[in-house]
Chain A
Amino acid sequence: MEDFLTLLLAGVSVGAVYGLIAIGLNLTFWTTRTMNFGQGSVMMLCAMLTANLIARGWMQGLAILAALAVIVVLMVFTEMYTVRPALKIEGSMGWAVSTLGVGIILQGCAALWFGSQAVAFPDVIFSAVDDVVIFGVHVSLQYIAVVVLALALVVVFELLVRGTVWGRAMRAVAMDQDFAAVIGIPVRAIVLGSYIASGLLAGISGILVAQIGGTVDPAFGFDLVIFGFVAAVLGGMGSTPGALAGGIVAGVLQQMVGGYISSAAQHGMAFALLILILVVRPQGLFGQREINKV
């Protein structure tokens, strides 16, 4: 029973982060029908920078802010120089290759600067040994903090999208780019903004995952994006509550399979789940069928 609860909480905790990653992917999917295939490296870089700056004696908050600032610059570059030109080439998925390319460059740079060994990630929120007793079971405070933080971010995100002018403009761009441009919405700025916000969500997710796992290395991130993608597909591409629900389902399943069957099956499970959902219900749990306009 204790095992089960621990696995469940661990699953919800990682799953909430998968949900955050998925929301980041959804954002650019809304505005441009693209997603950053190098998102994993954004997560890695943010966590790596934070760990490094803290190790050099920076204040934790300052280190995180500095890392996020770097991510903003990076996403502006990615959108302007790799996504936008690639989208102009008709009938091509060049953007998938070019964004992956940026991810690979980052991974290479990180290995060069920080070495390819895993570095320990400092305890930003709680230490791994802090725990509380719920229903007679010891559960890690870190897990709980991650869940709470992820949920809070989702709520803030939803409020921003639904309540602000920028959020409404973004939904207009998602609906129909040409029309949005005609009625005076700065489409290019919105698209750029969606990439920046997507990168920020990825960066924060990176820090949270590194906090749970305790270490970060240059190759970190790629399989997290896969789980983020599974979460997005499971919940229905483009749906925010869906992303969170999908993330939690994927996270819990992953932990359960890993805990009770084997860690090899854990990765196979993610892939099987992805194929299954795409075959049975490609619009996901909460998504709607898309109509492709001709």
Chain B
Amino acid sequence: MIAPRTVLTRLLTHPAFILAAIAALFFGCSWLSGGTVQILTFLMLNILLAQSMNLLTGIAGQISLGHAGFYGMGAYASGILMKTAGLPFVVSIPLAAAIGALSGYLVSFPAGRVREFYLAMMTLAFGLIFREVVREWDGLTGGAVGLSNVPSTTLKNLSVFGVTLDAIDYFRIVVIVTAIVMWLVHNFIQSRHGRAFYAVHASEVAAGCLGIPRAGTKRQAYTIGAGMAGLAGGLYAHMIGYLGPESFDLARSIEVLVTTVVGGLGSMAGQILSAIVFTFLPEKLQVFAQYQFIVYGAILAFTLILLPRGLAGLLLLPPRFIKPASLRRAGTAGVAIRPVDSDRNAALVVEGVTMRFGGLTAVDDVSLELHPGRITALIGPNGSGKSTLVNVVSGIYQPTAGDIRFFGESIAGLPDHRIAGKGLLRTFQDPRLVPRFTVRENLLLGAHRRYRTSGLAAALSLPSAVREEAAFLASVDAVTRMAGIADVADRPLESLPYGYRRLVEVGRALLAEPRAALLDEPAAGLSEAEMALLARMIRAMKDAGLMVLLIEHHMDFVAELVDDVVVLDSGRIIYHGDIEGMRKSPAVIEAYLGTSETEGAHA
């Protein structure tokens, strides 16, 4: 018994179905009326806009409230370039996309320094101001009267390489462009780039600690999204032949957002369904026009709360983030972990690090060293500053004083993604994974920093990109076997119990091929069997020559694994040495009120 959702998803995403649909539009349009061809051209533009918004909002989690601004940028750019500057169509359209992309980049430029919603407000501002500027700048844009006589099929003065295009030719061009763009975006989403977008969406901090630069990723998302909107705008300009500021107002931005939200954030197929609904429905329901704004407002106000996955959530399976072609080529020859090269400088040296929050000193003049192939336990009562120290070393906080050197190089105060990029990985006390990703997708996220192929190679699905992905997928397989999670590899993480999440997080750190790993309470909440799997992974790290720092309360677990112990209390180191010495240390016994033995017994 196959669920209808599965059937529908398989049909809609089947290459044969997609090619047939494109062919039907391409060849079938010559039998359609002029009006139908025009509305179908509009549909294609709405699909492009919805896909652009989906990439930005659904995948990267960034909100655009001024998409009509980017769309209008492209439309006016191409219109003016062709009409006034006399550039050919094949030049002005790519320029429209480029100018759209540039405005997206500009709007998201402060991404590194501000909270996420600033960017949403910036897009709202951009959209409103774009329209005002267009209205006032008569000389260039035609002002409120609009820009007419733009070369277009309507006016029969649009020609490409000497051939005058009619509405049907133009529709065919738009169909092909839309199909190509969607193919590129689809490949991009199912690559490490798309996964990085989604990782930033799910947790910026976790993404940063995997080496994904959050500001750069957001800028990339706005740039690509706005570029696609600019392209749609350029195509719009030469369909109608007239551009007026009211075509690019807030209502248009809202329409795009509504389409995307209803289609289902994250689903490309959902966007097409939704674009069809919102292109044809307003045409059919003229009476509805009066209430359109109110309905759109209500959709925005409540859909994300009541039906967060939109139409796609009702009708389709959730989208996946790995190309099936790469999965097929993965093979079984992967290794979970390879020995790391070691050199003279190989050490993580924490020297006199202090971290103060206002008047509170969380970490006070702490010094310690990690060496290859050694596991150091960091223990101490709750609130003793263990996690804060890990946060400082991994670059989430900047230390108030002190230095941190990794392979002889100072890394204190570097942003988290740069530190991760150097091979210093960490896990979190509360596992921070992407809930909607499968185990396999989550693990692959760990390998992010090891990829060498570009976003363009991924979008074009070049053999090099597929090969690279397949190689990492083979390593993912090996890690799932080592962690004992091979049988749930294709289950979404949110459907799995807590213990698995911990194992996935440690496995994800393994895939980053780190030189040092900081594990923040990895055994908390694990069953005995899971703990044995975890211990196996940690030993493999040690054998491969990693430096390991292990924060843990579970004394039996620690005793079996570690080489050194560092005990923190109130932010200061009170003991440093082996585990036997720790059990006898008066300072440690006092810190735990003389209960260090029983602590181990019941934890």
From residue A260, how far is it (CB to closest CB) to chain B in Å?
15
A108 interface neighbour in B115, B133, B293, Cβ under 8 Å: B293
Give the chain B neighbours of A108 by CB distance below 8 A.
291-297
Question: Which among B129, B136, B308 has the highest number of chain A CB atoms within 10 Å?
Answer: B129
From residue B556, how far is it (CB to closest CB) to chain A in Å?
29
Assess whether B297 is in contact with A222, with CB atoms less than 8 Å apart: no
Assess whether A98 is in contact with B304, with CB atoms less than 8 Å apart: yes
Assess whether A91 is in contact with B201, with CB atoms less than 8 Å apart: yes
From residue A242, how far is it (CB to closest CB) to chain B in Å?
16
Give the chain A neighbours of B106 by CB distance below 8 A.
275
Give the chain B neighbours of A82 by CB distance below 8 A.
301-302, 305
Judge if A100 is at the interface, Cβ distance under 8 Å: yes
CA of A263 to CA of B293 in the docked complex: distance in angstroms? 29
Assess whether B297 is in contact with A105, with CB atoms less than 8 Å apart: yes
Give the chain B neighbours of A105 by CB distance below 8 A.
293-294, 297-298, 301
| Given A275-B109, A279-B110: A233 touches B257 (CB 8 Å cut-off) | no
Judge if B212 is at the interface, Cβ distance under 8 Å: no
Judge if B351 is at the interface, Cβ distance under 8 Å: no
CA of A102 to CA of B293 in the docked complex: distance in angstroms? 11
Give the chain B neighbours of A1 by CB distance below 8 A.
none
Assess whether A102 is in contact with B126, with CB atoms less than 8 Å apart: no
B65 interface neighbour in A100, A219, A270, A291, Cβ under 8 Å: A100
Question: Which of the four size classes fits the interface of chain A?
Answer: 35 or more
Number of A-B residue pairs with CB-CB distance less than 8 Å in the complex they form: 150
B396 interface neighbour in A103, A104, A279, A294, Cβ under 8 Å: A294
By DSSP majority rule, is chain B's interface helix, strand, loop, or mixed?
helix
* Mask of B18-60 contacts with A, CB within 8 angstroms, 1/0: 0000000000000000000000000000000000000000000
Residues of B109-143 at the interface with A, using a CB-CB cut-off of 8 Å, are 109-110, 113-118, 120-122, 124-126, 128-129, 132-133, 135-137
| Given A100-B300, A105-B294, A108-B294: A278 touches B129 (CB 8 Å cut-off) | no
Assess whether A93 is in contact with B128, with CB atoms less than 8 Å apart: no
Judge if A89 is at the interface, Cβ distance under 8 Å: yes
Give the chain B neighbours of A263 by CB distance below 8 A.
136
CA of A91 to CA of B115 in the docked complex: distance in angstroms? 13
CA of A274 to CA of B66 in the docked complex: distance in angstroms? 16
From residue B188, how far is it (CB to closest CB) to chain A in Å?
21
CA of A267 to CA of B66 in the docked complex: distance in angstroms? 15
Give the chain A neighbours of B129 by CB distance below 8 A.
223, 226, 267-268, 270-271
Assess whether B202 is in contact with A91, with CB atoms less than 8 Å apart: yes
* Mask of A74-114 contacts with B, CB within 8 angstroms, 1/0: 00000001100110010111101111111111111101100
* Mask of A56-71 contacts with B, CB within 8 angstroms, 1/0: 0000000000000000
Q: Which single residue of chain A is at the shortest CB-CB distance from B111?
A: A278
CA of A267 to CA of B126 in the docked complex: distance in angstroms? 10
* Mask of B333-350 contacts with A, CB within 8 angstroms, 1/0: 000000000000000000
Judge if A35 is at the interface, Cβ distance under 8 Å: yes
Assess whether A222 is in contact with B128, with CB atoms less than 8 Å apart: yes
Q: Which single residue of chain B is at the shortest CB-CB distance from A99?
A: B301
Residues of B196-252 at the interface with A, using a CB-CB cut-off of 8 Å, are 201-203, 205, 250
Question: Which among A263, A275, A294 has the highest number of chain B CB atoms within 10 Å?
Answer: A294
CA of A233 to CA of B122 in the docked complex: distance in angstroms? 11
Give the chain B neighbours of A222 by CB distance below 8 A.
124, 128, 250
Give the chain A neighbours of B250 by CB distance below 8 A.
219, 222
Judge if B391 is at the interface, Cβ distance under 8 Å: yes
Residues of B310-357 at the interface with A, using a CB-CB cut-off of 8 Å, are 357
Judge if A195 is at the interface, Cβ distance under 8 Å: no
* Mask of A31-59 contacts with B, CB within 8 angstroms, 1/0: 00111010000000000000000000000
B293 interface neighbour in A107, A223, A264, Cβ under 8 Å: A107
Judge if A167 is at the interface, Cβ distance under 8 Å: no
| Given A98-B305, A268-B129: A294 touches B290 (CB 8 Å cut-off) | no
Q: Which single residue of chain B is at the shortest CB-CB distance from A232?
A: B121
CA of A230 to CA of B257 in the docked complex: distance in angstroms? 24
Assess whether B61 is in contact with A92, with CB atoms less than 8 Å apart: yes
Give the chain B neighbours of A85 by CB distance below 8 A.
305
| Given A105-B294, A222-B250, A264-B137: A274 touches B122 (CB 8 Å cut-off) | yes
* Mask of B369-380 contacts with A, CB within 8 angstroms, 1/0: 000000000000
Assess whether A282 is in contact with B113, with CB atoms less than 8 Å apart: yes
Give the chain B neighbours of A112 by CB distance below 8 A.
290-291, 294
Give the chain B neighbours of A86 by CB distance below 8 A.
304-305
Give the chain B neighbours of A33 by CB distance below 8 A.
115
Report, nearest first, the 9 A-B pairs whose CB atoms are least far apart. Answer: A101-B300, A101-B301, A264-B136, A104-B297, A108-B293, A105-B297, A108-B294, A278-B110, A267-B132
| Other A-B pairs, 15, CB within 8 Å; known A94-B308, A222-B250 | A35-B117, A82-B305, A93-B116, A98-B300, A98-B304, A108-B293, A222-B124, A264-B132, A268-B133, A270-B125, A271-B125, A271-B126, A278-B110, A279-B109, A291-B397
Give the B-binding residues of A (Cβ under 8 A): 33-35, 37, 81-82, 85-86, 89, 91-94, 96-109, 111-112, 219, 222-223, 226, 229-230, 233, 262-264, 267-268, 270-271, 274-275, 278-279, 282, 290-291, 294
